[in-house]
Chain A
């Protein structure tokens, strides 16, 4: 379960980054999953996500939320919603628990905060997935302040060159940080990229 894992950043920055993923287990409970995945989107929308997407389609910065909900694959897919604050994430978690959709839900974020949210609504966590960082030829990596942005697309579709170039655009006044972040978000098909956090980070990159 890695495409919302390995997000880099400081504790302060990551405290505004919660990603919800819901999916069926293929061959077990995917046959009637489409209406449940649509319900996930409906519940997620109540709490003002900063991004939402379907791994087989695209995200809400490319398609409308109605398009996302109306075209869920009947055989099942993987859906996501991103929140930029802990309160919204906690409310979404409670509503999803109450909805009892019967599909697997994974919440990404700072572990101690997610644990607290789960305890608050009476959830015993099934399992955790820890990122042990980046191994191998790390000298090939772009700078850390660029990686803090690119790692928000776990499939690696937001290029380091695009981030650096958009930071230059922001610095030169050709774009504002928010529109730069939205341009990056369009590349991340699944909709797990957090454009609100990215805007803060690209502004800092431009000012560096």
Chain B
């Protein structure tokens, strides 16, 4: 995003809309290009009385900022809007998560801080070290130079974005090791991440992951998401 300094009237209306606090007032409003994630909120807010906020599609690798920050901008790698991954929202159809396995998503930069791919790499490499499998149909995985080590492509490391999801699966018994590794490595990153874990519901309505989280003393919220299983055709080999 940029502001046409010849048109800006310095009203400052756009400043509070920026999720990254990247707009500062000088003689006119100025966008810090290193902090800006090209989410488009300043433009979309339609508060500029002289319409001087401009979005121009950026070249590679900066284009990643819009892809990972503007949810209406589909990802080139998956063709999907938002964060570009179905995760387990359609799991009863896709079978991404299979019985006996757990899925985990580490969402960088959320809430309210933004993140850079160098932090993603740090966590991805630590998790790869304990043998998780990264989700192949995911824009973050697509940016890895080596999916077996979690190493990202070097040219993307400094790109900043609002939220990007590192997704992986692992056998249920590996859960404690994965969580301990994540606890350790997230102490070393320069941003926050929202973490979630998914499990399938057993025929008796129990959720095996809950017992593991409680035994490990890992916090989980009272609210979250339930896939009610309406999708068809059902994945063969699923739990229902």
A residues with CB within 8 A of B: 1-8, 11, 14, 17, 21, 23-26, 28-29, 55-58, 77-78, 93, 96-97, 100-112, 114-115, 118, 123-138, 140-142, 147, 150-151, 154-162, 165, 186-187, 189-190
Contact = CB atoms under 8 A, between A and B. Distances in A.
Nearest to B46: A186
A159 B19 contact: yes
B226 A115 contact: yes
Given A6-B194, A187-B41, A130 B224 contact: yes
Contacts of B165: 2
B224 A108 contact: yes
A123 B227 CA distance: 11
Nearest to A119: B205
20 contacts: A2-B107, A6-B107, A55-B72, A56-B74, A58-B72, A103-B230, A123-B228, A125-B201, A125-B226, A126-B238, A127-B97, A128-B227, A136-B193, A137-B113, A150-B112, A151-B111, A159-B16, A159-B20, A160-B19, A162-B17
A5 B225 CA distance: 6
A26 B86 contact: yes
Q: Which among B20, B112, B183, B201 has the greatest number of chain A C-beta atoms within 10 A?
A: B112
Interface in B85-124: 86-94, 97, 105-107, 109-114
B177 to A, nearest CB: 15
B10 interface: no
Given A2-B194, A127-B97, A108 B223 contact: yes
Contact of B39 (A133, A151, A157, A160): A157
Q: Which among B20, B89, B223, B239 has the greatest number of chain A C-beta atoms within 10 A?
A: B223
A115 to B, nearest CB: 7
B89 A1 contact: yes
B149 interface: no
Contacts of B191: 136-137, 140
B232 interface: yes
Given A55-B81, A127-B91, A136-B186, A141 B113 contact: yes
Given A57-B72, A141-B111, 8 more contacts: A25-B93, A102-B231, A106-B227, A123-B228, A124-B229, A136-B193, A156-B162, A187-B44
B59 interface: no
In this complex, the interface size class of chain B, counting residues with CB under 8 Å from chain A, is 35 or more
Interface string B175-207: 000000011001101111111111111010101
A96 B220 CA distance: 29
Contact of A29 (B72, B91, B105, B233): B233
Nearest to B104: A132
Interface of B: 15-21, 39, 41, 44-45, 69, 71-72, 74, 78-83, 86-94, 97, 105-107, 109-114, 162-163, 165, 182-183, 186-187, 189-201, 203, 205, 207, 209-210, 213, 218-233, 238-240
Contacts of B82: 3, 55, 78, 155, 190
A88 B67 CA distance: 35
B18 A133 contact: no
A152 B199 CA distance: 23
Contact of B72 (A56, A115, A127): A56
A27 to B, nearest CB: 9
Given A5-B225, A156-B111, A124 B240 contact: yes
Given A14-B222, A29-B232, A134-B111, A104 B213 contact: no
Given A3-B82, A126-B92, A132-B197, A106 B225 contact: yes
Contact of A104 (B18, B39, B190, B231): B231
A132 B230 contact: no
Contact of B228 (A14, A57, A107, A151): A107
Contacts of B203: 124
Closest 10 CB pairs of A and B: A126-B229, A104-B231, A25-B90, A1-B89, A129-B225, A25-B93, A159-B19, A136-B192, A102-B232, A135-B186
A108 B225 CA distance: 4
Contact of A155 (B20, B162, B225): B162
